[in-house]
Structure formats: structure tokens, C-alpha cells
Amino acid sequence: MKYYSTRNRNEPVNFAEAALTGLAPDGGLFVPGEIPSFPAAVKSSLGTMDFRDIALETIRPYVREDIPDAVLADLIQSAYPFGAPLVEAGDRLVLELFHGPTAAFKDFGARFMARAFSYLRRHEDRPLRILVATSGDTGGAVADGFFGVEGISVTVLYPRGRVTPLQERQIAALGGNIDALAVEGSFDDCQALVKAAFADEALRKRLVLSSANSINVARLIPQAVYYAAASGRAFAGLVDGDGAATPRIPGSGPAARSRMKGREPVMAVPSGNFGNLTAGLYAKEMGAPIAFFIAATNINKTVPDYLESGVYEARTSQATISNAMDVGAPSNFERMAAHWSWETMRFLVRGASVTDGETRETIERVHQDHGYYLDPHGAVGLKAADLLAGALGGAGPLAVLATAHPAKFSETVEPLTGPVPVPDSLRRVMDREPRSRVIPADSGVLRELL
């Protein structure tokens, strides 16, 4: 498998170079030269295969020249002692992506990246510096995934005052090889600082830099796994029982039952930087049984507007209660546009935007009706599906991606639902004291610190 920059297909690289470089030298994003297909035997068994086996089959074709199968299998077993239950909440399915150590979907990409980077750099002497911009959950997942990894240090940039107190503890309280910078600005400012650092030739000669945002293809590819697993379960008419971290009032869950067997699900994806949705598109192209996607955004609706008009117009991000999606210039749109035309994207993806008022109303309603707690991002996904109900037609079941545990957003959720059950993974974080440095949104300041 060869990888190309979205801006230049004439200089292919292997997976190791694409992953460890992060951003292409010309400022583009690396994309695979082709999207492979699942073998027929795998495609027909997705509903019953173990999550880790699906991970092996999904990731293998992208990395086989650089990571032997036996090593990859060990990396996957180490990265994923948890899975992604597909549970019911009324007539919707919820894909719970918060059963990992930081209670957010970013764990799936970050934990694989940390182990893959460690293997790919096993013969290197120079230390690797990872730069990551976060609007919330990415920073915590990357910090946790890379904490204590020898030969790798991480600098996380996050918008000061725009992440929750718990998210800040996950980002900035580990110390060691994790350095946290609170930027006076938005997530887009943080992202621009990271891109400026990668474009700084003098800096790159002095330091070995890489990224851990979804601009890095090594973080994006593992996220295709849970789409394949969940759509396989839904297509087989199966749902999972509640997991240890499932946020539901005890006794309010539905009885286990099969539903809509043989119908491809619609996947509603809370979307900010659009890496998660891009991973879903990869899974569908590989053969995962997905009807189409709903790109659910908050009022930062750059991509839904593009899907409607065909005109892409990046904007300044606006702060909302679904803060991880406060992105006005989503980096992964460039990757999407490299693979699919506007006409094809309109076929694969429907867009909808949701206000804060609608988000709060959805959290409250789902809790009252079904005893289930949604975080603001999952609520955006579910409300977007409601707004597009008329466009679903005869599609199969609707699965909403719950990208973070609601306890991470208790300041927003609890006034609407009462106390949220807290998983053990988050209880261990609450007593940590965050330690970060405040910097202006100035690339010169970041350069000096690095």
C-alpha cells in the first residue's frame, strides 16, 4: 500500500513514512493509494467476529508492508482490551465509543498509534516530538496513549477555557513526557499553530516532528474498525447488552432482541474535524454494510453547507456546548475531497446542523423517555437524525455514534438529567491537578517553546 499527499500524487510513501511524518511536506494529508476490500469471508462474518479480529482484518491491508501480521495482532490485542457495544435507546441504536481509558472514541486511534509508532521507531536514536491540537477529547486520548512511551514526547495544544474541567485534567495532569499548552484562542488557532510548525523547515531540521490529530492517517485507519464491527452487528439484526460504562438508569434498558436483519444501517456521526466520518467512509468502501452517513454538526456547519451547495467555505469556529465539534475549517475535508466528488459525497453523506437548544432538548428527552444519558455530541448526532427522518426512506436501523461518555460533560448534562453515572476510568482522573502553560496564538512563541 502506497500513500500520497492530497496535493501531490507523484511522490508515494509507505505507511511508516506517512504515519511518522504526519502531515505531508507540501502541507497536504496522506491518503491511501487505494481503499482495499474485505475478503468475502470476512464481509459475511462481520456480525459475529470478535472486535479484535475485525481490527486485524481492517487495518492489515493498510500496514502489511511495514508491520508483520504477528506484530500487528499483538499491537491490536494490547490496544483494545475494550470494545464498542452497540446498544438500544428507544428505536435508535447507540454505538458506544467510550469504553476505553479516556472515555472517548479517540482512544481507538491514539492507542493504536502509540504502539505502532513505538514499533516503527524501534531502531531510531533521535527522539520523536508529537504535536497535537485538540478541541477536547483528542488531547486526553493521545496523552494517555503515549504516556511513558520511551523516545516519544507529546505537546498538546488546546483552546484555553473551551474544554471541560475533566478534559483539561486528562490533557494536562499527567506530566512526564506529556506537555500541555493552553492557547489563547479557538481550536482552529491551535490547529493552525500545529500546521505552521510542520511547515517550518528550520524547525523540522532540528526536531523530528509528527502529529496525532486525525490529519495523521495512522489515527484515522483504526477508527474504521468500529464502523465495520457495528454495521456488521446491525446488519445481522443483533444488538449488544450494556457494558460496564453504559450510561443508563438501572433497569430501564430494553430486553435483548434482534431487529431489522438484512438491512444496512444509517450511521449518524457527530462531526467536527471530520476524521471520524472519513474513517466511516473508508469502512463502507471496504465493504462494511452501511447505507449512508449523516454528518451531524453543531452550528459550525461548513460541511453540511457544502453538501447542500457544492461550495466549500471555511469559517471562524463558534463556541458551543458540543465543544469537540467547534471546527470551522475541518482538516479532513481535504482528504474527503481527494477521494470523492461533490456528487458522490452527496450520495454517501447527508448533512444537518443542530443548535445548542436542540442539543439540550435531546439530552433531556432521551433521558426521560429511555433512561439513557447522552453527551452533547451524541445528542447532536441523534437530533440530526431526527431532522433528516424524512430522508431516511426505507433505510435500515439508525445508529448514532456516542463519541464520549456524558460524565465528561456533567456541567451540561446534569442540569437536564440529574447526576450522571461516572465510569471508573473517569473517577481516577478527577483528583488530578492540571498543569499547563498559557500561550498566545503565535507560531513564533510555539517555535521557541519547542
Q: What is the pLDDT of residues 24-54, one digit of tens each?
A: 989 899 999 999 999 999 999 999 999 999 9
How many structural domains is the chain composed of?
1
Residue bearing cell 426505507: 394
Give a yes or no: residue 179 inside a domain.
no
Amino acid letter at 261? K
Q: What is the pLDDT of residues 343-382, one digit of tens each?
A: 999 999 999 999 999 999 999 999 999 999 999 999 999 9
What is the per-residue pLDDT for 138?
A: 83
> The domain that contains 379 carries what CATH number?
3.40.50.1100
CA distances to 111, 224, 262, 336, 387 from 114, rounded to whole Å, are 5, 17, 37, 25, 38
Render 13-34 in DSSP notation, one character per residue: E-HHHHHHH-B-TTS-BEEESS
User: What is the average pLDDT across 67-90?
Assistant: 96
What is the per-residue pLDDT for 104?
A: 92
CA distances to 89, 140, 259 from 134, rounded to whole Å, are 29, 9, 37
Q: Give CA–CA dist 146/415, Å, rounded.
A: 34
User: Minimal CA–CA distance to 168: which of 437, 435, 449?
Assistant: 435
Q: Which of 2, 106, 301, 383 is catalytic?
A: 106
Q: What is the pLDDT of residues 115-174, one digit of tens each?
A: 999 999 998 888 999 999 987 778 888 999 999 888 899 999 999 998 888 889 999 999
Mean pLDDT of the chain, nearest integer? 93
Give a yes or no: residue 132 inside a domain.
no
Residue 162 vs residue 59, higher pLDDT: 59
Give percent of the chain with pLDDT exceeding 70: 98
C-alpha 9, offset from chain centre? 26
pLDDT bucket at 98, cuts 50 / 70 / 90: very high
Give a yes or no: residue 136 inside a domain.
no
**What are the phi and psi torsion angles at 380 (to 5°)?**
-60, -40
Give a yes or no: residue 182 inside a domain.
no
pLDDT bucket at 258, cuts 50 / 70 / 90: low
Q: Give CA–CA dist 60/247, Å, rounded.
A: 33
The gap between the terminal CA atoms of the chain, to the nearest Å, is 33
Give a yes or no: residue 374 inside a domain.
yes
What is the per-residue pLDDT for 254?
A: 66
Does an H or E element contain 70, and which? helix 69-79
Render 203-217 in DSSP notation, one character per residue: HHHHSEEEE-STTSH
Length of the chain: 450
The domain of 385 spans 72-105+217-427
Give a yes or no: residue 436 inside a domain.
no
Give a yes or no: residue 46 inside a domain.
no
106 is catalytic: yes
- Nearest 10 degrees: CA dihedral of 370, 374, 380, 383? 0
- 311 contact partners, CB below 8 Å, separation of at least 6: 305
C-alpha 138, offset from chain centre? 8
Give a yes or no: residue 17 inside a domain.
no
What is the per-residue pLDDT for 261?
A: 87
Amino acid letter at 323? N
